[in-house]
Amino acid sequence: MILDGVGYRQTVVVRSYEVGPDKTATIESILNLLQETALNHVWMSGLLGDGFGATHGMMKNNLIWVVSRMQVQVDHYPIWGEVMEIDTWVGAWGKNGMRRDWLLRSRATGLVFARATSTWVMMNQKTRRLSKMPDEVRAEISPWFIEKQAIEEENGPEKIDKLDTNARYMNSDLKPKRSDLDMNHHVNNVKYVRWMLETIPDEFLENHQLSNIILEYRRECGSADAVQSLCEPQDYELIKSGNIHQCNHIGVNGHALSTHGEVLQEAHFTPLFLGAYSYTHLLQVKGETKSEEIVRGKTKWKIKLTTLPCP
């Protein structure tokens, strides 16, 4: 236990099944490690009753935690075999919610790999409706709250626009499997991220790495739902011969593609980009008459790095 006994630190090793083709940890592996560390924090605090992080008071009131928003900033991806320290702690969020933050760094050098923050609300496990925080639950968890943030939000949460079926990329062949369900019997949120990223073109993923992801959760997803993943690239600005041109995609070998798909010749511009390459995402359940949102997302990307900086 850390932070005067209210925070928690876990040491983990990046295993071979947690890395991708470039031998660095995948974003899904990082999210799973965050989830596991959070549960271990509750367990070590003596608050864990049963279920997915529920305290004893929550179990008495048939309540469970559900995540409403999550953000992960990745500065560097740990490689296979890296020994990491993951710190986590909690704080108040509004009257009835909780905020949980994480910090991931190298145990050997102290290099920060990633920061993450999330907000959580309570749901009645039987009615599947959001619930206020009972006084006995507040009494259980409030002594653990501290005022510390892993990611500062100067202007409040970033807004994520809703996509429609006119989005540039779409995958309508997604079907949850039994193995995708968690202990609360709905699709684990890490699976959502995989569905989102698989909609992005392969040629982009080969040359870029995720630097920031924001997720806004709207409803549960069960094994019987038919899921559709929508994805839209956002414009970014490219300096070209002293003039600013609008582009929205990076093709193979670093060539910029305009909104209409034509290549902006590499010899005619200086490869200096303003801001990150960004995509907006939406997962929704396809219904007969209308579709319901599961989660909105926004991802930001940077050119893939091959080596870590010197400590």
DSSP H helices, the chain, are 27-45, 56-60, 135-141, 189-197, 202-207
Catalytic site residues? 184, 186, 221
What does the radius of gyration of the chain's CA atoms come to, in whole angstroms? 21
For residue 307, is pLDDT > 90?
A: no
- Of 55-69, 251-265, 266-280, the least confident: 251-265
Task: Identify the CA nearest to 117 among candidates 91, 79, 144.
Answer: 91
Class of domain 1-157: alpha beta
The H or E element that residue 232 is part of is strand 227-234
Beta partners for residue 284, in sequence order: 228, 293
Looking at the domain that runs over 159-236+276-304, which CATH code has it been given? 3.10.129.10
Q: What is the pLDDT of residues 124-143, one digit of tens each?
A: 888 888 889 999 989 988 89
**C-alpha distances in Å from residue 81, one per residue of 84, 137, 210, 304:** 9, 39, 21, 20
List Cα–Cα distances, 284 to 70, 71, 109, in angstroms: 18, 20, 42
pLDDT confidence of residue 14: 96
232 bridge partner residues: 280
For 238-272, write each residue's pLDDT tens digit: 433 344 444 444 444 444 444 444 444 443 333 43
In the chain, CATH 3.10.129.10 sits at 1-157, 159-236+276-304
Distance of alpha carbon 58 from alpha carbon 51, whole angstroms = 10
pLDDT at res. 270: 36
Q: How far apart are CA 283 and CA 295, in angstroms?
A: 5
